[in-house]
Amino acid sequence: MITVVVSIIVLFFVLLGVKELLPARFKKFVCALCGAVVLTWLGLLFASYSDTVVIALLMGGSVVGITYVVSEKFPLFRLPVFLTLLFVAYSVIKLSFDARSVVLIVLLWVLFTAVFLYKNNKLIEKIVACCRNW
């Protein structure tokens, strides 16, 4: 565990330094902690680190972090984004995936996309308003 903690600390400070070298418009897209965590679990995966619990915990943090970032812009898609990332993280750790889960996640995306398109479609809003006022 000490290797993981040291890795995150070192990468955090390195990424803070790198972030300072970036133009101002790009700085908001770089989170030193997020980058340190992602680089650590990627390194552990490629090094065939045996403690999958640590990798899973770090990946889980990344899943939640990405979900929050995406849901700020697209709050409706919070659930499908979270479940998709969770599925991907699980599949990477297990080196396999469940086809039934893929089907369920795809159906969830279709449902949420339909709701999104329906909610933001001016033509559909006019049709619904017309029928409502009839």
Q: Are 58 and 4 in contact (CB under 8 A)?
A: yes
Residue scoring higher pLDDT (54 or 51):
54
Q: Does pLDDT of 88 surpass 70? A: yes
pLDDT at 125: 63
Residue scoring higher pLDDT (7 or 26):
7
Residues 95 and 44: their CA atoms lie apart, in Å, by: 15
